With several copies, the nearest count.
Chain A
Amino acid sequence: MAETKTMAKKPSRKDDPLQEHGISPELALDLMRDMLAYRRFEEKAEEAYAIGKIGGFCHLHIGQEAAAAGSIKPLREDDYVVSAYREHTQALAKGVSANAVMAELYGRSGGSSGGKGGSMHIFDEKTRFMGGHGIVGGQVPLATGIGWKVKYRGEDSIVLVFMGDAAVNQGAFHESLNMAAVWQLPVVYVVENNAYGMGTAFTRVSRTDMVTKSSPHGVPGRSVDGQDVLATYAFFRDLAAEVRGGAGPQFVDLQTYRFRGHSMSDPVSGTYRSVEEVEKAKSEQDPIALLRDTLFAGGYLDQAGLDEMDREARQTSQEAADFADTSPVPGPEALYRNVWAEVNPNGRLFFDGRER
C-alpha cells in the first residue's frame, strides 16, 4: 500500500501543482472548463427537476466533478466507461453531448436513449459510454465482460467502471474482481467514495478501509484525492498507461464528497450527516474552487477569465435545456420499439393483446 500513502489526501504540494503532476496549463484550463460545464449542467437539471421537467430518480454529481474529469479525460476515445445511476457528468466527460444527456433526462426523443432510459440509463454506443445502470453493483460484472471482449479480440482499449462506496458490499463486486484477476482483464474498478450510500456512512457497513477491498482477489488497490482534479488526472493518466501496457485489473478508492442529497428526493443532510459537515466540505473541498485557487496562484487564470469560462458553461447547459425542451416527446410507436432486436418471423413475442 506504499502508493496509498503517496496518493492520499493533501499530497505535499510543490510550488506548482501543474508541474508536479506534469499537466500543461492548457490542459489545466480545459479541466476547469469541463468541471464548470458539469456543475452548471447538474444545476440546470436540478432546476428542471424542481419544475417537473425531469421526473423519476435524479442523482446529481455536484461536488464530484473532479472525479469525473480527472478519471475520464485521460482516456482514449476507444476506451470504455461504465457507470451506475449518478452518471450524467461522466457521460459528458466521455463525449456524450450535453443536449443528448439533458434531453434524456427530459424523456425526449432527442435523448441519448430516445427518452426511454432516463437519468439512470444514459447510453451512447459511439463514445463507448456503456450506461447508466440502476442496480447497485450490477454494472461491475458488465465492465468485466467488456474487458473480456477487449482481451478476447486482442485490442488495447481499457475499461473504466465506476461504482459507489456502498457497491463494494455487493457480491457482484467480489465475483467480478476475482474473475478479472484470474483472467488479467484490462479493467479499472473505481469506487467514487463519497463516504455515504444514501444515508449510510461507509464506516457503518464496513470494518475496513475501502482500499483493502480488492486484496483477496490479487487486484492492486490505491487511494487518490478525488477533489484534486490535477492529482486525479495524473493518477489516471499513469494508471491507464500501466493497464494498457498489460498491468491487469486495478482497484481505485477515489475519495470524494456529495454536495447534494442522494437523489433529488432525498435531503442534503439529516441524521446521517450534519449541515456543518456538508458546509465544511463545500467550502474546503470544492474541486472547482481548489483548481481555481491553483490556477490563480500560478497566474494561469484570473477572475475575468474564470467568469468567461463560467458564462460559456452556463450557456451550454442553457442550450441543452432549450434543446431538451423543444425536443419532441417519443411518439407512441416508441413504446414497442426495441424490446426485441430480432422479431422472429414466426411465433408471438408480445402477449398483452393490445394493438400495436
Chain B
Amino acid sequence: MAVMTYREALNQALREEMERDPDVFLMGEEVAEYDGAYKVSRGLLDEFGDQRVVDSPISELGFAGLGVGAAMAGLRPVIEFMTFNFAFLAIDQVINSAAKMYYMSEGQFPMPIVFRGPTGAALQLSAQHSQACETYYTHAPGCKVVTPGTPADAKGLLKAAIRDDDPVAFMEGELLYNFKGEVPDDDDFVIPLGVADLKREGSDVSIITHGKMIHVALQAAGKLQKDGIEADVLDLRTIRPLDVDAIMATVAKTNRAVYLEEGWPYAGTGAQIVSMIQEEAFDDLDAPVLRVTQADVPMPYAKNLEAMAKPSADHVVGAVHKVLYR
C-alpha cells in the first residue's frame, strides 16, 4: 500500500487510463499548462501532449458538448469542470445530450464520457462557489454519479468511471485534494461502480453518507463511541448506481439511520435514500430516518456563518441521539 493524496490518486488514475487507452483525453480550463486549477493533472501535458491534455476556453457549455460529440464519434473524453458550480452553464449538454443520446438513438451511440471536478463547499468561497451539485445529476436517468471520499476510492472509481460506457458525473472535493490515505499498489486497481463501503462498523445506528461527508460521519462516530453508541458508517461511494442492498443491510442491523450529506435538503440525495428506506425497510425501522444537511441557505462568506451552515459532527451526533430517543 502506498500513501498518497487524493490529488495524486486522481492523477495516477488519469495517467494509467490514458496510457491504457489512446482514446482517453482530458479537456478543461487550465488542465494543461497550469497543471489544473487544483493540480490534479500535474505532469500530464508533458507526458501526453497537447492533443490529449487540452486547455479550453471558458466555454463550459461548448466544451462539455464538444466532449459529448467526441464520445458519439468513439473517443472517451474526460471533461474537467474547474468546479461543478460552473457546470450549471453546461448542464443542458449533460442532461439533454449525454444522458439521453443512447436511449434516443436506441443504443447506436454509447456515451463513454466523464465530467469531473470538485463539488460542494471549500473555505469561504461564498454562495456561487460552494454548491453540492449531486441532485442536478442524479435526477435524470442516463447519468451515473460518483462521489469518492478517500484517495483509494478516488483512484479506483475514476478508473472505473473512465471505462464505463455511460456518462459519469465524477464529483470530487476541493478540501479532499490534500487528504492522504493508503492506495493499493495493484497497478490495475479498479473499484466497480455501485458498491458501497462500510467505513466503520457498529450496531446501534447507521450513519449513511457519501463524498467528503464520510469524514464528518467518522468524526461523529468517534464522538458517539464515547457515549457508548456504536455506529455503522456506510459510504455509498456511488450514488447512481446505488448499493441499495448495503443500505438495507445496515438498516436491518441497526434499525435506526441518519443520512448525512453536504448539500441542501430539498430533493437532495438524502431525500431519495430516506424515502427508499421507509419504503423498503419500513418494518425494520424503530425510529424515523433523519437527515443532516447544509443549512437551507445559499452559502454565506463570513467564516463563522459558513461554519454554522455546514453540516457538522455535532449535528450528526444530535440526529443520532434523536433516532435513539436519547
Evaluate contact between A198 and B30: CB separation under 8 angstroms: yes
Question: Given the complex, which residues of A lie within 8 Å of B298, measured CB to CB?
Answer: 339
A136-172, CB < 8 A from B? 136-138, 140-150, 152, 166-167, 169-172
**Least Cβ–Cβ distance between B40 and chain A, in angstroms:** 14
Name B65's contact: one of A80, A123, A172, A344 (CB within 8 Å). Answer: A172
B305 touches A347 (CB 8 A): no
- Do B308 and A335 touch (CB < 8 A)? yes
Within 8 A of A (CB), among B35-87: 37, 51, 55-75, 77, 85-86
- Taking CB atoms, residues of chain B closer than 8 Å to A82 are 69
| CA of A102 to CA of B105, assembled, Å | 15
Q: Which of the residues B110, B238, B244 comes within 8 Å of A341, measured between beta carbons?
A: B110
Indicate if B5 sits at the interface (CB-CB under 8 A).
no
Q: Is B137 an interface residue (CB 8 A)?
A: no
Inter-chain CA distance A115–B217, complex, in Å, is: 29
Q: Contact at A141–B73, with CB atoms within 8 Å?
A: no
A116–B266 alpha-carbon span in the complex (Å): 22
Chain A residues with CB under 8 A of B296: 339, 350-352, 354
Interface residues of B in 286-303 (CB under 8 A from A): 290-291, 293-298, 300-303
Q: How far is the CA of A229 from the CA of B86 in the complex (A)?
A: 34
Chain B residue contacts of A136, Cβ below 8 A: 58, 86
CB distance from A254 to the nearest CB of B (A): 18
User: From residue 189 to 203 of chain A, which have CB atoms closer than 8 A to chain B?
Assistant: 197-200
Task: Look across to chain B and name the residue whose beta carbon is closest to the beta carbon of A187.
Answer: B69
CB atoms of B106 and A135 under 8 A apart: no
CB pair A346–B243 under 8 Å, yes or no, is yes
Residue from A175, A176, A340, A354 within 8 A of B142 (CB atoms): A340
Decide if A200 touches B34 in the complex (CB within 8 Å): yes
Q: Are B194 and A149 closer than 8 Å at their CB atoms?
A: no
The answer, among B62, B97, B142, for a CB contact under 8 Å with A171, is B62
Total A-B pairs in contact (CB under 8 Å)? 320
- Interchain CB contact under 8 A, B104 and A116: yes
* Contacts A125-B109, A149-B69, A347-B195 given; does A352 touch B265 at CB 8 Å: yes
Q: Mark B108-134, 1 if CB is under 8 A from A, else 0.
A: 111110000000000111111100000
State A134–B130 Cα separation when bound (angstroms). 11
A348 in contact with B241 (CB, 8 Å): yes
What is the CB-to-nearest-CB distance from B313 to chain A, in angstroms, rounded to a whole number?
15
Q: Which residue of A lies closest to B265 (CB)?
A: A351
Give the distance in Å from the alpha carbon of A338 to the alpha carbon of B88 in the complex: 23
Q: Which of B59, B103, B129, B194 contacts A178 (CB 8 A)?
A: B59
Instruction: Give the contacting residue for B192; candidates A137, A341, A344; CB below 8 A.
Output: A344
Q: By the criterion CB–CB under 8 Å, are B61 and A141 in contact?
A: yes
Q: Is A252 an interface residue (CB 8 A)?
A: no
- Is A314 an interface residue when CB atoms closer than 8 A count as contact? no
Report chain A residues within 8 Å CB of B279.
353
> Which residues on A sit within 8 Å (CB–CB) of B60?
170
Q: Is the CB of A107 within 8 A of B124?
A: yes
Interface residues of A in 17-75 (CB under 8 A from B): 55-57
Instruction: State the main secondary structure of chain A at its contact with B.
Output: loop
Q: How many residues of B contact A (CB 8 A)?
A: 95
Q: Interface size of A by Cβ–Cβ distance < 8 Å?
A: 85
With an 8 A cutoff between CB atoms, is A241 at the interface? Answer: no
* Proximity bits, B236-247, A CB within 8 Å = 1, else 0: 001011111000
Q: B105: nearest residue on chain A (CB-CB)?
A: A123
The answer to whether B141 touches A121 (Cβ under 8 A) is no
A:69-116 near B, CB below 8 Å: 80, 82, 104, 107-108, 113-116
With A204-B55, A346-B194: A146-B69 Cβ-Cβ less than 8 Å: yes
Check B301 against A118 for contact (C-beta < 8 Å).
yes
Q: How far is the CB of A268 from chain B (nearest CB, A)?
A: 14
Known A-B contacts A146-B73, A167-B58; A57 and B65 likewise in contact (beta carbons under 8 Å): no
Shortest distance in angstroms between B95's beta carbon and chain A's nearest beta carbon?
10
Residue B272 at the chain A interface, CB threshold 8 Å:
yes
Q: How far is it, in angstroms, between the C-alpha of A114 and the C-alpha of B107 when the chains are bound?
A: 9
How close is A54's CB to chain B, nearest CB, in angstroms?
9
Instruction: Answer whether residue A216 sits at the interface, using C-beta atoms and an 8 A cutoff.
Output: no
Q: Which residues of B contact A120 (CB under 8 A)?
A: 126, 128-129
- Write the A206-248 contact mask toward B (1 if CB under 8 angstroms, else 0): 1000000000000000000000000000000000000000000
Cβ contacts B183-195/A at 8 Å (1 or 0 each): 0000000001111
Residues on B with beta carbons closer than 8 Å to the beta carbon of A329 = 302-304
Q: Is the CB of A56 within 8 A of B65?
A: no
Alpha-carbon distance between A150 and B69 when the two chains are bound, in angstroms = 11
| Residues of chain B with a CB closer than 8 A to A143's CB | 69
Once bound together, how far apart are the Cα atoms of A270 and B238, in whole Å? 37
A205-B57, A336-B297, A341-B110 known; A115-B65 Cβ under 8 A: no
> B70 and A146: CB pair below 8 A?
yes
Which residues of A line the B interface, CB within 8 A? 55-57, 80, 82, 104, 107-108, 113-121, 123-125, 130-138, 140-150, 152, 166-167, 169-172, 175-176, 178-179, 182, 197-200, 204-206, 270-272, 329-330, 332, 334-342, 344-354
Chain B interface residues toward A at CB < 8 A: 25, 29-30, 33-34, 37, 51, 55-75, 77, 85-86, 88-89, 92-93, 96-97, 101-112, 123-129, 141-142, 144, 164-166, 192-195, 238, 240-244, 264-266, 272, 276, 279, 290-291, 293-298, 300-305, 308-309, 315
7 contacts between A and B (CB under 8 A): A114-B106, A141-B65, A144-B66, A148-B66, A171-B89, A340-B141, A341-B166
Known: A199-B34, A330-B304. 19 other contacts (CB 8 A): A57-B125, A107-B301, A113-B105, A117-B104, A117-B127, A133-B128, A134-B129, A141-B62, A141-B65, A147-B69, A148-B69, A198-B29, A199-B33, A205-B58, A330-B300, A339-B296, A340-B142, A342-B165, A346-B243
The 8 A-B pairs at the shortest CB distance, nearest first, are namely A347-B194, A145-B69, A141-B65, A347-B241, A175-B62, A118-B301, A346-B194, A56-B124
